[in-house]
Chains A and B, each alone.
Chain A
Amino acid sequence: MAAAYGPPSHPPTEVQPHTEPVPAFIPTPGGTGKPWGAVAEFANGTDLLAAAKKALAAGYKHLDAWTPFYVHGMKEAIGRTRSRLPLFTLAGGLTGLTAAAALQFYLMTYYYPTIVGGKEYRAWEAFVPVFFEMTILFSGFFTLFSLIGLCGLPKFFHPLDSHPTFNRGTQAGFFLTIEALDASFSPDATRAFLESLGGKHVAVVEA
């Protein structure tokens, strides 16, 4: 048998059953009464990846996958395209550079022209460290805060926290969710669809 070169495959595993059956509709404390979306648990990353691909092919768009570690190919499988984060970083960098240039040239050339070390007023060489630092600083801040914003943080409660097995998502659980925002979402049909993909502990969570 030829040696397999490439990413390792996951060993077959099974979803551990929950102590009591998971209800079809899980209410959320103080919920709105409307569904947030449907959840299904899978045995491992490979199964979850296959299920996500099928759900995407079935026309669902508001998909999300919740795994304890990075699963290669999952981003494409749930239909995610590139993040907008680099654009924020670039915008931050350009803002910082422009701010540093404006500040220094205005101050050192017009507002309070000062001779430092025998150099001319517009000694751009002396400004470069500040250009550099401000570019980096603003890039960093824009990246951090836009990341927090794009992730919808801070968030103290999420409807999925009501799901009885979802807390395993940080250790050994692999979950696929389809949100109610999706045009093709309907509580019963979507739940049945997730069950047909081999999902366990399938439930609709109240928003």
Chain B
Amino acid sequence: MSTANITDGAGGPPPLTYPAGLPDRVAPVGDALASGIRTLVAVLLGTGALLVIGLFTDAKQFYHSYLFGYVFALDIALGALFWTLIHHVADAGWSVGLRRVFENINRAIIPLTALFVPVLVGTFTGNLHAWYEFVHTVPQKGHGEHLWHVKHLYFNTPFFATRIVIYFAVWIGYSVVMRNWSTKQDAVGGVALTRKMQWWAPSGVALLGLTTTFFAFDVLMSLQYSWFSTIFGVYFWAGGIRGSLATVVLVVLGLRAAGFLRNTITMEHLHDVAKIMFGFTVFWTYIAFAQYFLIWYGNVPEETQFYLLRRNGAWNTMSILLPILYFVVPFFMLLPRAHKRSPVWLALISSWILVMHAYDLYWQVMPVLHQDTIHFHWLDAAAPVFMFSVVLLSAIWGFTRLPLIPIRDARLNETIGYENETP
């Protein structure tokens, strides 16, 4: 009979009782990751200072780089929220141990909400989205540009601001509510809260799908406001879902390297995450090609403008390399079973996918600013590093204060004893 009573340091939540017989210590990590946190804070402050310098030296470049870094991180946080919800929708047993990792990564949505303000400033000062400039230069009743006349019902300041508020309200709402129920279950146990989360998760998936799609339309696609692509939201989502899986793998590997969860989240679980990562590698390609293929075949000017812009100078090379580096390379890296079960390979593949995710988003955002060819700016490196540090810090913050797995989930036994089928 060994049930340890460990009181949460914050004082607010009720004292937790840890179930006996767990194969690992799952209490909050406390100060065990302090050096890592200090490094991350230093990186955050350093790149943050660089961003401030960038704002005052080259505003237009700053806003574009910032947007690129911002969507890179937000994509990952939203992907983690999606995984939390889909875990409940699928009534999954194997991923119970991973759920706290998802929940801790989507914690980043709250700081990222505050960090969205510079993007809004960029839009409303005319530094980012072309439609904003257009709204204020073309007379409202004129037919100077017919396309804008049709689209101004969608692209105008009040409606844009309203939509942004709705998106963040949905994201924060679902991430906070799901996390609160999950942590409440750590104390009270039982299946009532699991049922409750399962009841709310499907609506969350639907709303998350819609808001993410329209967020992608509003913030990325509208950089070229005259461009049409109905699949763009899915493209954005496919990138984010891959990026978030890569982040999940890296966070889990980091925790395991620090000595946590070694027998709770085993290579069996990581193998499955890698299988999903492989699946979404193919999915991203499917979506990316579907978008390109239909636009190429249709050959309609307002659709082809996106790809025409990316056929100039070094952008063309980057466009050709994108499917090779972001599909072919990870596909063959993830194909052998042994790679999906090796921590070293998994770390390599996940880092590769994250870097290529940034590459993909850079390719989506930057040609709008530098239309002739690539002009790599140091801000383009500082912004994603800054934003990714925000995500990692938010996740680690959760691990220092909450149990590392949902300790009272009814299906904990299923996840801990989980084994893959041997082929």
A residues sitting closer than 8 Å to B (CB atoms) are: 1-8, 70, 72, 75-76, 82-83, 85-86, 117-118, 125-126, 128-129
If A7-B419, A86-B423, A118-B299 touch, does A2 touch B21 (CB 8 Å cutoff)? yes
| Contact partner, A1, options B1, B23, B292, B296, Cβ 8 Å | B1
B-side contacts of A5, CB under 8 Å: 21-23, 412-413, 416-417
Chain A CB within 8 A of B137 CB: no
| Contact partner, B423, options A2, A6, A83, Cβ 8 Å | A83
Contact between B297 and A3, CB atoms less than 8 A apart: no
Report the nearest B residue to A6, measured CB to CB: B417
Report the nearest B residue to A3, measured CB to CB: B21
If A2-B2, A117-B297, A128-B289 touch, does A72 touch B419 (CB 8 Å cutoff)? yes
**CA A183 – CA B113 in complex, angstroms?**
70
B-side contacts of A4, CB under 8 Å: 21, 413
If A3-B19, A6-B413, A128-B289 touch, does A82 touch B2 (CB 8 Å cutoff)? no
CB proximity of A91 to chain B, nearest CB, Å: 13
Q: Mark B396-412, 1 if CB is under 8 A from A, else 0.
A: 00000000000000001
**CA A129 – CA B285 in complex, angstroms?**
12
Q: List 24 A-B contacts (CB under 8 A).
A: A1-B1, A3-B19, A3-B21, A3-B413, A4-B413, A5-B21, A5-B22, A5-B23, A5-B413, A5-B416, A6-B416, A6-B417, A7-B417, A8-B417, A70-B421, A75-B422, A76-B422, A82-B337, A82-B422, A86-B337, A125-B293, A125-B296, A128-B293, A129-B293
B-side contacts of A76, CB under 8 Å: 422
A-side contacts of B292, CB under 8 Å: 125
**CA A166 – CA B23 in complex, angstroms?**
40
A-side contacts of B4, CB under 8 Å: none
Q: Mark B313-349, 1 if CB is under 8 A from A, else 0.
A: 0000000000000000000000001000000000000
- Main DSSP-derived SS at the A contact region: loop
Of A5, A6, A118, chain B has the most CB atoms within 10 Å of the CB of A5
Contact between B423 and A85, CB atoms less than 8 A apart: yes
If A117-B297, A126-B297 touch, does A82 touch B417 (CB 8 Å cutoff)? no
B-side contacts of A126, CB under 8 Å: 297
CB proximity of B130 to chain A, nearest CB, Å: 28
Chain A CB within 8 A of B20 CB: yes
**CA A70 – CA B289 in complex, angstroms?**
40
B-side contacts of A7, CB under 8 Å: 417, 419
**CA A159 – CA B168 in complex, angstroms?**
67
B-side contacts of A86, CB under 8 Å: 337, 423
Report the nearest B residue to A126, measured CB to CB: B297
CB proximity of A1 to chain B, nearest CB, Å: 7
Report the nearest A residue to B286, measured CB to CB: A132
Report the nearest A residue to B413, measured CB to CB: A5
**CA A22 – CA B292 in complex, angstroms?**
69
A-side contacts of B289, CB under 8 Å: 128
**CA A1 – CA B2 in complex, angstroms?**
8
**CA A33 – CA B386 in complex, angstroms?**
78
CB proximity of A88 to chain B, nearest CB, Å: 12
CB proximity of B317 to chain A, nearest CB, Å: 18
